[in-house]
A and B are shown apart, each in its own frame.
Chain A
């Protein structure tokens, strides 16, 4: 079984983001980058799948030299080898999916794992686009997964509940929190990762389908309001929650 896992290199969620002077990109100064948290679930599931059925797991990332940090993290967790599709310029989801699909085709991977979204641009679409370009089945936002021969049975999160779906190989799975508990890269794994290969190739050019016009921060949070300190304000509180905040 040949398995691919695609990872994105994103700003640490604890980092405070500043928008660059061009208003179209973020200022990378002082930003720590990490492997996209949802991609860690994807890596863990890829490793578990390999442990069950044998085969090889290859990690693929599209981006600049620094993406190698996230590739190395996956290698330290136990992935067999890495591929960096190098492009120093940011590209849209379609541009990422296009080069990933080509590489996955070359690699002839039957199962492909993604995180359900990357926490930088939050488009939640790269996995699905890649599946479409490859002509693979796709199951997104997966919280439980089983392979039975050619059959794939997955539980996925939907609004207000869960559904169980069945599909078949080859398949793209996008991982949701809850699918598994990602392992720590062991010290042995980190030392072993040094000897694993990261193949680097230029990512084929791609015409953007989406252009970023402007980035801005959300408006500052409004301060809270104290209605009173005893039970007499409860009716007013309920009214405000219902009519103003519209949360109940």
Chain B
């Protein structure tokens, strides 16, 4: 196979700094060497490639935007986005792992934790010694997390937690869960450690999507949590949503990686697949598909670059993230499906990455705020009417 060199029709590389490009290229090489050769097997067998954790930690992929003293690399958000993009060229499940560890576990501890919590957890999460997960969604509360029924009660020496979470990436393999529960009616964050009595995290089986990623339930049956494990700076749903905003930002970038590999595969295939005496790339209908894909990739790249620059200069609104997450996931899924059409029957084989990405993107379009919810979030922002209430 040819070496993957990215998709850059508009010289978008010229918008990135030397470090940003170097970081991207390093992760690109890592994905080509370490992820792509093994990922189909893991997707087929529905296993997460656990051996990658230490390699990804060594590369510095966890919490890379955080300060060095907590194990981060103090990278900017554009570089972080490019890392997500490259990882998702490998697989959405691997990108999800890094997203959860960085944006949904390390970020809330960094932003809402005590100094002791930060010093204890962040370096261990950065070097991969500890794995984290994030429990917000419940079986009956997805788009409406504010309705959650998981609750915490103040008891002597700590809190008593009861309830259940669902669709939790990394749940079964996590050493610590950031769990959101209502304490006196106010949603707060707690660190629940693996092995705590009454806490279990069974894996959810039977997924046709994100098969190389662990998805779990979290069950809390009278779980006693020490006083020190509450995230002290959480004071309502908005803190959980701030975490989601970080993760959605990574998804907006990540799916462009999936788009790129689907396009690249379809382009190469169309040039070598001969029908009626000429490559299918020579037919107008194939060209229209390829041009549509490339145009949507280019638009998503420009959307992301500006999104990242706004995040770095502090002018980013959560509705901006919604627009990029909404658009890019929809277009990525569409591109994966068009790529499958170009590959014809070959597109369904796992000799090509298309079907795996296509199936993954069904989840990615739905999680971290469905397409519909992001529509309503932007809708409210521009009209003033919250249509989801």
Contacts and interface: CB of A to CB of B under 8 A. Distances in A.
B213 to A, nearest CB: 22
A187 B98 CA distance: 14
B73 A191 contact: yes
Interface string B100-125: 00000000000000000000000000
A186 B18 contact: no
Contact of A190 (B3, B22, B30, B58): B22
B350 to A, nearest CB: 25
A76 B59 contact: no
Interface string B27-45: 0011000000000000000
Interface string B319-334: 0000000000000000
Contacts of B59: 184, 186-187
B381 interface: no
B18 A185 contact: no
Contacts, number: 45
B33 to A, nearest CB: 9
Contact of B60 (A14, A32, A188): A188
B2 A191 contact: no
A201 interface: no
A72 interface: yes
A184 B58 CA distance: 9
A194 interface: yes
Interface in A158-195: 184-191, 194
Interface string B72-90: 0111000100010000000
B346 interface: no
A73 B19 CA distance: 10
A42 B18 CA distance: 24
A185 B22 contact: yes
B2 A187 contact: no
Nearest to B58: A186
A191 B29 CA distance: 18
A187 B75 contact: yes
A14 B2 CA distance: 8
Contacts of B73: 186-188, 190-191
Nearest to A14: B3
B19 A194 contact: yes
A185 B19 contact: no
Contacts of B23: 187, 190
A25 B59 CA distance: 38
A191 B19 contact: yes
Given A14-B2, A14-B3, A191-B73, A186 B22 contact: no
Interface of A: 14, 32, 72-73, 76, 184-191, 194
Which 5 A/B pairs are nearest by Cβ-Cβ distance? A187-B60, A187-B73, A14-B3, A188-B73, A186-B60
Interface of B: 2-3, 5, 18-19, 22-23, 26, 29-30, 58-61, 64, 68, 73-75, 79, 83
Given A73-B22, A184-B30, A186-B26, 6 more contacts: A14-B2, A32-B5, A72-B18, A187-B59, A187-B73, A187-B79
21 contacts: A14-B2, A73-B22, A76-B26, A184-B29, A185-B22, A185-B26, A186-B26, A186-B58, A187-B26, A187-B61, A187-B64, A187-B73, A187-B75, A187-B79, A188-B60, A188-B68, A188-B73, A190-B23, A190-B26, A191-B19, A191-B75
